[in-house]
Amino acid sequence: MPSEIVVGIDVGKRGLDANLYAQRAVLHFSNDGEGRGKLVKWLQGNGSPKVVMEATGGYERPVAQALWAVGIAVAIVNPMRVRQFAKSQGILAKTDKIDAGVIAHFGSVTQPGANLPQTEAEAYLSACVERRRQLVVIATTEKNRLSTCPDSMRVDLEEHITFLEERIHKLEDEIHTTIHQDAEKRDRAEKIDSVPGVGPVTASTMVADLPELGKLNRKQIAALVGVAPFNKDSGRKRGKRRTTGGRASLRRVLYLATLSASRFNPVIRPFYQNLLKRGKVKKVALVACMHKLLTIINAMIRKGEAWRSTPV
């Protein structure tokens, strides 16, 4: 028997389809302030069950914020897991109503852990970090175009790059200000930034997008970020261990921090070199170092300590 009542919500740009597990009815709400308000009242009328919904690239965030504001637990899950679950149940058709029922069933069976609620300030910080990343990607693309662009377009490209860099600097100032207005976030960012190889961008991204840091064990935090290797064995066959899922924004900054740590961090550098000596390819060795670096940072935050030469 399920330990709690679950509602599955299929989130779309304009609409929300909700199914209370074990019931056939699927209710539709508009994905705007009025519709989310009606959804909240309906959920409260059903005992405020746990809500499960897929990550949809941002459309789920206002819904989650509305539910967190009234104390309703929300689990935001990887869409791939839900799709694989649907296939395992023989459900191949895909509509909004079907998806809502599948998500509710998935949530009831797997009982995914609820995400930590985000305050408005935390949501704003996360948005600033993501917007900075987007602008950095655009600026890099524009810089790459400079080498092949016609002379007639060079001034236009250079002006655009200057504009983008100014916006990036303003966002970095905003991120710094937002973090330092909160004593707990400031302290957490300073501890993360104290790790050799880790810089302010990685620290701010972890503060914004990984509130679970220091609250989970090493296996849980690695799986959450997506750097935990999973077995692929069958009988006598031993397949390659692979990482999958997790939070892409965190993996990106952690990978860059690991590249730096593999050269300058007194713990990660010898660990990386030892893996190479044992015949590991560089990519595999770097993923192992990402896992170790994340584990070190998680242990530091859990203990409330800054970097030491042998933190774990």
Same domain, 101 and 127: no
How high is the pLDDT of residue 50? Answer: 94
How far, in Å, CA of 40 to CA of 31, rounded? 12
Identify the CATH number of the domain in which residue 57 sits: 3.30.420.40
Same domain, 71 and 136: no
Domain-embedded: residue 189: no
Domain-embedded: residue 124: yes
How far, in Å, CA of 225 to CA of 292, rounded? 12
pLDDT-based confidence at 1, cuts 50/70/90? very low
pLDDT-based confidence at 244, cuts 50/70/90? low
pLDDT score of 9 more than 50: yes
- Domain coverage including residue 53: 6-110
How high is the pLDDT of residue 310? Answer: 47
Domain-embedded: residue 186: no
* Domain C-terminal end among 84, 110, 136: 110
pLDDT score of 309 more than 80: no
Same domain, 147 and 104: no
How high is the pLDDT of residue 2? Answer: 46
For residue 8, CA distances in Å to 28, 52, 149 come to 12, 5, 50
Domain-embedded: residue 312: no
pLDDT score of 3 more than 80: no
- List own/partner pairs for 249-253 with CB under 8 A and 24 or more apart: 249/129, 249/130, 249/133, 249/205, 249/209, 250/205, 250/206, 250/209, 250/210, 250/225, 250/226, 251/225, 251/226, 251/227, 251/290, 252/133, 253/201, 253/202, 253/205, 253/206
Q: What is the pLDDT of residues 52-72, one digit of tens each?
A: 999 887 889 899 999 999 999
| Interhelix angle 218-225/282-303, nearest 10 degrees | 130
pLDDT-based confidence at 209, cuts 50/70/90? confident
Domain-embedded: residue 246: yes
Domain-embedded: residue 190: no
pLDDT score of 312 more than 60: no
**Global pTM?**
0.75
Q: What is the pLDDT of residues 149-200, one digit of tens each?
A: 999 999 999 999 999 999 999 999 999 999 999 999 999 999 999 999 999 9
Average pLDDT, the chain: 88
Same domain, 106 and 127: no
DSSP state of 26: E
Q: What is the pLDDT of residues 70-112, one digit of tens each?
A: 999 999 988 888 998 999 888 877 888 899 999 999 999 999 8
| Of residues 197, 216, 302, 204, the one with CA closest to residue 256 | 197
How high is the pLDDT of residue 234? Answer: 46
Beta bridge partners of 20: 7
CB-based contact 126:118 (threshold 8 Å): yes
Give the total number of structural domains in the chain. Answer: 3
* Domain C-terminal end among 64, 86, 110: 110
How far, in Å, CA of 34 to CA of 191, rounded? 42
How far, in Å, CA of 118 to CA of 122, rounded? 6
